[in-house]
Structure 1
Amino acid sequence: MRTHHTAAALAAATLLLTLTGCAEVVTSEPKPDDKIASPPAADAQAATSSADPDAARAAAGLPPEPKGPARKAFLDGLNAIDKDIVHGKDDKAISRGIDTCGLIKNNPEPAKRAEQTNRRWTSPTHPEGHGLGTATKILAVTHANICPTY
């Protein structure tokens, strides 16, 4: 019986010491001359991506956002396949197109490209994708209008 009381007291004392140690860490105030250092690479990347999104995309190996006639041709091409692909969300379609260019660049296997494109290009009425045939057409429109050099 005494063993149980001793073990319980020991466990309680350990818990109390542990919580006391945590409280000291939490309640300690930083000194005014303490500085929180962030990695320089993270600062540079954040500055680059917020200042120039196209530079950030280029650093990631992706093409710049299409503008003017290239943007219009891309969106018109997708809408010609099926208006539900873009479904009124032009900027979202552009973002997916840039992402698809990364897929084109990094995946040489056409069947895998089509599968991944089908999974990526969903809509409210096609939550599982538009099918492999449509995905192949999306790939062609994306390649022709956003990243023809890939």
Structure 2
Amino acid sequence: MRTRLLAATLTAFAAVSLAACSSSGSGTTAAGSTASGTPTASTAATTPAATAASTPATGDTAAATPGTPTTPAAGASDGPAPGAATPGAPDAPNTQAPSKPAPPADAGLPTKPGSDVTAKLVAALDAIDPAIVGGKSDQAVDRARTQCQSMYQFPKDRTKLVELANQRFTAPDHPQGFGDEKAGKILDALRATLCPPA
């Protein structure tokens, strides 16, 4: 009785072991390939999943293939948004004041005086030193007119005007002019008689 029970137990154990070995072998075959090299159902089932994991979904710009430029979203552009102010664009029309035109070449040059003004000018210069006119009233008037133009151009630079008067009003005995003191008096005489008021 015991022997039969033991034999039955051993037989059942052997059957379970064979079934387990058979199941393990078929699992290995399912994970690998059959003898003919055809993929098993298990392999076929896992391949699409692996392929899907390694291939980015269509339209997914975040998982785009490296080196491939991404396409900007619809409606996006490189320019400024509509209604946005363009950098550097003026807000209003150019309101810069026009440049001041250059004065004419004869600015400050008085017209040639009449006989009465000429007589006053000569009398004023003779009062400073008769050698300034030296009997040449026309020459003295021309020099005076040119000096008036310099006085118009440099109204506040008395030192320069005195220097110019010494260069213009000369005489054989005074080739370097009549000195700063008399040159200053010449300027005052011209302002009083010939030069237009500043």
Asked if Structure 1 and Structure 2 have the same fold, meaning a TM-score greater than 0.5 normalized by the shorter chain, the answer is yes
Quote the Cα distance in structure 2 between the aligned partners of 1:111 and 1:102: 15
1:60 is aligned to 106
Q: 1:86 and 2:155 equivalent?
A: no
In structure 2, the gaps of 5 or more residues are 1-103
CA-atom RMSD, angstroms? 1.4
Q: CA deviation at 1:59?
A: 6.3
Q: 1:26-105, aligned counterparts within 5 Å?
A: 60-61=106-107, 62-105=109-152
2:172 is aligned to 124
2:190 is aligned to 142
Letter in 2 for 1:89: K
Q: 1:106 and 2:142 equivalent?
A: no
Structure having the higher Rg: 2
Deviations 1:6-29 (CA, angstroms, capped at 9, x unpaired): xxxxxxxxxxxxxxxxxxxxxxxx
Deviations 1:64-101 (CA, angstroms, capped at 9, x unpaired): 01113211110000011100000111100000000000
Residue 115 (structure 1) aligned to one of 130, 142, 163? 163
Runs of 4+ in 1 over 2 A off after TM superposition: none
2:48 is aligned to none
2:34 is aligned to none
Q: CA deviation at 1:119?
A: 1.4
Q: CA deviation at 1:148?
A: 3.4
Q: Which has the higher contact order (CA 8 A, sep 6+)?
A: 1
Quote the Cα distance in structure 1 between the aligned partners of 2:135 and 2:168: 17
Quote the Cα distance in structure 2 between the aligned partners of 1:144 and 1:100: 13
State, as a whole percentage, how many aligned pairs show the same letter: 35
What count of residue pairs does the alignment treat as equivalent?
Answer: 93
Counterpart contact for 2:110–2:196, Cα < 8 Å: no
Q: Which has the higher helix share?
A: 1
Quote the Cα distance in structure 2 between the aligned partners of 1:85 and 1:94: 11
Letter in 2 for 1:66: P
The SS at the match of 1:75 is helix
